[in-house]
Amino acid sequence: MAKTTAADVLGVTTLVTGADEFIAERTIDALRRAVSKADADADISELEASELGPGAFVEITSPSLFASMRCVVIRALENLPADAAKPILAYVSAPAPDVALVLHHTGGIKGKALLDQLRKAGAAEVKATPLKRWELATWVAAEVRGHKAKIDERAASALVDSVGEDMRALAGAADQLAADCADQPITEKVVRQYFGGRAEVKGFAVADAAINGKTGDAFEQLRWAFASRVDPVLITSAVAGGLRGIARYLAAPAGLLDGDLAREVGVPAWKLKSLGAQSRGWTSRGLGVAIQAAAQADADVKGAAGDRLWACERLIISVLRARALH
């Protein structure tokens, strides 16, 4: 049987690009683990690109005397000394079969010319860019399944609403829920029990009540949010996001399948039903008035007005009145 090489595991040189630290680290860690799984005695080394002086790159990519496979991770490629670029490009064009090379560029203009050259030389690029909000629920579900636990779409979306868009925080929340719910599916109720007290959830509760025209509930949720010292920015942004979702839903081409419509609107497929129900209470005129009110409230709570709480109350009143316009 032929010996497994680093090239068999990772293929060509891997170029990780992008400023998202969490995704970049996840990617690099997965590459390291793949090499270690293929060869438990593999030599794993990491260094900053700025440390690559003359001859250093050749030394670290030479076959190891003590291991059959090597993995070399070079970070912050944008700080690579000018005289170290040529040997790296030459190596990428003709890599050693037993050395897995991973190059990480953290984003920005610096080093862009080198990136273009590396791509042309054959490096396989993995982009470390954050997911769009509508993609996060699917990612959360996969994260939970990776922990051998189960979660449905609504619960995954509720977790995003509760924790926010920070993927590191979402990964930690998924890990916690999977550990505590190993013997039962994670439901929306479970997510609310764990994370329902977070400020973002209170903001969404206010927004949902106002957009649905539930006057009493909207002001009750607003008072609760104020009592809990929720930042007014979270309230206005939740209202604005909800209104924009309805606008995108109403503007979407007719006749789309649910999957295509969800992508067009930017929401999970299961949320289309609630968006459809919400949109039936709105006219284009009322929606336009409400979106303008949300934009003004957002500016007010960020410093354009003195009383941030009154700006939120005025927004809820405006949304409720706009919903009644015909």
Phi, psi torsion values for 105, nearest 5 degrees: -110, 125
**Domains of the chain and CATH, by start:** 6-127 (3.40.50.300), 133-195 (1.10.8.60), 199-323 (1.20.272.10)
Question: How do residues 110-132 score in pLDDT, each as one tens digit?
Answer: 888 999 999 999 899 999 888 88
- The whole model's pTM is what? 0.59
Instruction: Classify residue 92 by burial, with Cβ atoms within 10 Å: 0-12, 13-18, 19+.
Output: buried
Q: Which residues contact 169 (CB under 8 A, 6 or more apart)?
A: 163
Angle at 243 between CA 239 and CA 249, to 5 degrees: 150
Contact in structure between 60 and 48 (CB atoms under 8 Å): no
Question: Quick one: pLDDT at residue 83?
Answer: 85
| Cross-strand bridge partners of residue 47 | 74
For the packed helices 167-180 and 21-38, what is the interaxial angle rounded to 10 degrees? 60
Q: Which residues contact 280 (CB under 8 A, 6 or more apart)?
A: none
Query: How would residue 73 be classed by pLDDT, with cut points 50, 70 and 90?
Result: very high
Whether pLDDT at 322 is above 60: yes
Angstrom distance (rounded) from CA 209 to CA 283 = 18
